[in-house]
Chains A and B, each alone.
Chain A
């Protein structure tokens, strides 16, 4: 008699987890992101010198190179750069949550609606998306933050204003393909409401693409925010922000190289994490963006 236990079937979730576990780049990505999140949340306790997060001044130790005491050296007023990086991650992660928390749902909903409704609704949404996509993001963000005064919230608004477009276009393409599938027709025939078809039928088929895209996006939102504050249009001092730190530090190149490079590497580290995770998720769920 053949026992059922000898053949183990894996659910699709287990299958995905299995592929994830054996994907080194995804694992490294997760490790990096978790380390950044822990660093950001517990910054006041982990930072060797929490007072460095503010307008602290220690002229005796200004421009100290990286050492056992100051892991990443100190900046032009003697603040510990490593501590400031930990606090800076709070700003970066806050930016990611703020921007993607609004832009992703909005963009996805517009894309789904355009694909499902068709006709002039589709035309208006997609042409509007095209126009928004034609605006160079950095120029637009610079313009918005410049006319509204530069600070974190306005930088967030500026980035959000443009970010949804990518999700709209991606989800539109996927959902448009799904519209030809029988299950959508079946749902329509069985009298399902529009909302049901959009959120319960079409949306689940877009989830893996959204997850991959959002993970890759997170890194680029951080990069974008850092670029804005590097140009002086994002977070204002003394709030510790990685882009601002690079910009201030670059005034002391080349002698005090760590003041620009260390925060720069900190940005690189977190972007690398989200990228590896996104790539890993893409391999795991087998989606094309």
Chain B
């Protein structure tokens, strides 16, 4: 297990290093002078030249890359060209909102998709199965932004108690200082009004973000349950007279949960990337809104920061999921070990 973890961590560090270098190359070969962008169109050529020296843009490429990497290890992502604050500060300020959205989304996905998948498998080919099949197809093929707009429409006509923008009602005074997550901090502080408002604000965006994953995981849970249900040990447990519910939940679901959990892990890892559209539509003040804003303004340091953070999140989450799956199903460890 230790050797496995070590091998995976080394591979992860290599991937991260590659990611940084790649993004850095892309950011440096693009047309447009970052110094010029930072100073605006009115700056003189001398000012731009001075700024270039200050930003280290005249150094050889490898020196720039080295400086960036060493800076990165100290948590320095450079300055945002537009807000002229360190990119790191901007990211740290935006991350909790995204994290809260992502956690709410994965919570919805787990609590809806696996039970529905189990139901569909138990009542195979009945109307329950058909309804879940349609729900999952709709979830998979509806683009996030279309679903987001449909939800906003519903909220403005019928579900008027769901707010459609932001994280909290404007009237509420509350600053989340402990974890940055409004739901958890408000509970810790005993502010039920804030907690309720935060949950209502979370609901529609997390549904829009969760739909595709719910559809996918539901189908996979269903087929895994059906596959496991046909194995001998299930038949044996039934013939021992073990109650059907116990067989389904304890025996079948435990074995069948590996495939959906793998997909949920992948889904979780890519949620930050997918959050871009949903945060944009719901004016959610997270890292993706920050990303869209800085990208539209060609703020390169900030863009690199955003891409890097979502990349790191993706890679680390994948590792964590793999390790967890290794605990649930030891065959994963061996399989991975043999293929390096």
- Hey, which bits of chain A sit against chain B, CB under 8 A? 127-128, 130-132, 134-140, 142-144, 146-148, 219, 223, 226-227, 230-233, 243, 246, 250, 253-254, 257, 260-261, 264-265, 267-268, 271-272, 275
Contact = CB atoms under 8 A, between A and B. Distances in A.
B260 interface: no
Is chain A's interface secondary structure helix, strand, loop, or mixed overall?
Answer: helix
Given A134-B314, A260-B149, A268-B141, A148 B31 contact: yes
Contacts of B27: 143, 147
Interface in B148-166: 149-150, 152-153, 156-157
Contacts of B314: 134, 136
A243 B128 CA distance: 34
B280 A231 contact: yes
B30 A127 contact: no
A254 B310 contact: no
B336 to A, nearest CB: 13
Interface of B: 11, 14-16, 18-19, 22-23, 26-27, 30-32, 137, 140-146, 149-150, 152-153, 156-157, 270, 272-274, 276-277, 280-281, 291-292, 295-296, 298, 300, 303, 306-307, 310-311, 314-315
A144 B315 CA distance: 21
Contacts of B292: 142, 231
B295 A142 contact: yes
Nearest to A161: B26
A279 to B, nearest CB: 9
Is chain B's interface secondary structure helix, strand, loop, or mixed overall?
Answer: helix
A227 B143 contact: yes
B338 to A, nearest CB: 12
Given A227-B145, A275-B140, A134 B14 contact: no
Nearest to A264: B146
A261 B280 CA distance: 17
Contacts of B146: 246, 261, 264-265, 267-268
28 contacts: A130-B15, A131-B15, A134-B311, A135-B307, A138-B274, A139-B306, A142-B276, A142-B291, A143-B307, A146-B303, A147-B26, A227-B276, A231-B276, A232-B296, A246-B145, A253-B152, A253-B153, A253-B156, A254-B153, A264-B145, A264-B146, A265-B146, A267-B143, A268-B143, A271-B141, A271-B143, A275-B137, A275-B141
B295 to A, nearest CB: 4
B211 to A, nearest CB: 12
Nearest to B339: A176
B156 A254 contact: yes
A131 B17 CA distance: 9
Contacts of B270: 136
Nearest to A232: B296
B277 A231 contact: yes
A140 B292 CA distance: 11
A223 B143 contact: yes
A232 B22 CA distance: 25
